[in-house]
Amino acid sequence: VGDMSLAKHLLVEYFDCKEGTLNDPNMMERFLTETAKLAGCTYTNGTMHHFSPYGVSGVVLCVESHVTVHTWPEYKFASVDFFASRDAIDPWTGFKHLSECLGTENYSVSEVKRGIKNLLPPKKAIQGGEPNPDKQQWYYDMFPAPEMGSLVETKGKSLCTVKSPYQNIHVVETLNYGKMLMIDNVINITEKDEFIYHEMMIHPALMTIPNLKKVLVIGGGDGGCVREILRYKELEKVVMVDIDKEVVEVSKKFFPKTSCEFGNTRLELIIGDGIDYVLKSPDESFDAVIVDSTDSTDGASEPLFTVEFYNNCKRILTKDGILVTQAECLSAFPKDFEKCFAMWYNLFGKENVFMLRAFLPTIIDCQTFSYCSKGSLHPWKSLNQEKVDKFVEEHQLGYYSHDIHLASFSIPPYIIQKLDEIKSKLQNQHRTPFTQTQPNYFYVANFHYQKK
């Protein structure tokens, strides 16, 4: 694996296995599952068949590999093969564990390299395969890399596949998350947890704006951001600009609860280029700008992550306006994370840019957002608890609350350290402590604690 081959394949013959281990399919499945997990594999499922009068054959399937077994209890013999298609997988660790499970040190083992790279033609980019509509299966979102992904079990039912001029749009039915929208084979939203993303992208910012009149959304084709923004009765208008009409239409058809406000008279929906719209917008024309894009590494959204674009976003904000963005994930996109926050610090000032996080089950790490304040507004100093509590109760929100608002801005030390390093690079001076660690309250369990 790695520079030499695409995969490695361990072929093992176990002799003199402990009596009672080779004729129990449940025990054998447990052994193989433990073996796969200890080797670093992402387990999906397994199946075993018990022969009459004795013998077991079976397989444990993983995202990156498989382990198969065939046993002959009458000879105390088992044949096992372990296929691994990633460098991070160590089949030898699994081999040793299975030896212990079978109670034997008598074995024959060989490793075979599969797909020797210098014997293969040059690598060719191809479109990812679509789910088989006839079979339940696991969908593994390998974005940004195979070792960092989200695993979602689908019902194997493909509901919609659309190829727009900008991206591939796909909807599948999942076992635990309802319908799932994928953009270029990357999870975008699911019915079960989209409310977390959209509530946390909108309310921590808009709740701090005292005279909210006009909001701009760039992207957001699923409609979730618009839905949350239009909960504010004092709002006069929201403009949404998305370049891909197909995302909007697919969301209307398959995600009606998310896209339910597309017909609202206070919404101006524009299918067009968000960058061009921002460029041509008058100065100080929006109280908030929400950039609900896919990741910066995605082709369709890459132009949104530039100094010119965000400088224009700042220009069209009112004097106390707020910019909110989907802010990348440090563990998945460390270089992009640094680039984005360095850009926002430069544009808005290091003391006016804040990071908040929310947990979504279908995201490998916490979802990260930025809160960039053009003027005097502050993410917790400008917050009115009575206003928040009343709003949450009135709209029966599922995730956002006053406590969650404060907690979301309390971020782990390793991220504080990284943001601190970014700020230090910008000023080329001694490190300045990151002031975001000083909210008035933070939330633990069901109790409030005041910072001393």
What is the longest distance spanned by two Cα atoms in the chain? 83
Per-residue burial over 173-209, b if 16 or more Cβ lie within 10 Å, else e, is: bbeebbbbbbbbbbbbbbbbbbbbbbbbbbbbbbbbb
Alpha helices in 188-244 (DSSP H): 194-206, 224-229
Provide DSSP, 89-112: --HHHHHHHHHHHHT--EEEEEEE
The residue among 357, 355, 368 whose CA lies nearest residue 408 is: 357
Query: Which two tokens mark 278?
Result: 């921002």
Q: How far apart are CA 224 and CA 230, in angstroms?
A: 10
Q: How far apart are CA 382 and CA 320, in angstroms?
A: 11
Q: Is there a catalytic annotation at residue 283? A: no
Query: Which two tokens mark 208?
Result: 């701090």
Q: How far apart are CA 165 and CA 185, in angstroms?
A: 16
Of 292, 295, 403, 420, the active-site residue reads 292
Q: In what order do the strands lie in the sheet with 186-190?
A: 137-145, 148-163, 168-174, 179-183, 186-190
Which residues have a Cβ under 8 Å from the Cβ of 263 and sit 6 or more positions away? none
Question: Which active-site residues does the annotation give?
Answer: 292
